[in-house]
Amino acid sequence: MKRAFLAAGMFMAGTTLSACSEKATDRMENAGSAIGNDMSGAVDEAADKIDNSLNDAGRVIDEGANRFDAATGNAARDARREVGEAKEDVGSAMERTGNDLKKD
C-alpha cells in the first residue's frame, strides 16, 4: 500500500512539475513576445523620427535653394538695371560732349 501511495505521490509531483513547467514556458514565451513587440515598436519609432528628420532637412535645403535662387535672380535684375542706367548715363554724356564740340 505504501508503494501505491508513493507511486501516486510521485505521479502527482511529476504532473504538478509538468504543469508548472508548462506555465513557466508559457510565461517565458509571453515575456519574449512582449520584449519583441517593444523592440519592434522602438525600432519603428526611431525609424519614423529619422525619416521625419530627413524630410525636415530636405525642406530646409529646398527653402535655402529657393532663397538663393531668388537672391541671384534679384541680383541679376539689379545688375541689368544698373547696366542699363550706366548705358544711358554714358550715352547722355557722349551726347553732351558731341553737342559741346559742335558749339565750339
Looking at per-residue pLDDT, the higher value among 3 and 73 belongs to: 73
The 8-class DSSP code of residue 80 comes to H
What are the distances in angstroms from CA 33 to CA 28, 29, 36, 77, 78?
8, 6, 5, 65, 67
Reduce the DSSP state of residue 40 to 3 states and report it: helix
What is the overall mean pLDDT for the chain?
79
Looking at per-residue pLDDT, the higher value among 31 and 56 belongs to: 56
- pLDDT tens digits for 72-92? 888 888 888 888 888 888 878
Dihedral (Cα; 55, 56, 60, 65), 10-degree rounding: 10
Q: What's this model's pTM, rounded to 2 decimal places?
A: 0.47
pLDDT at residue 29, rounded to an integer: 81
Grid coordinates belonging to 17: 512539475
Q: Rounded distance, CA 104 to CA 98, Å?
A: 10
pLDDT at residue 4, rounded to an integer: 58
What confidence tier does 8 reach under pLDDT thresholds 50, 70, 90? low
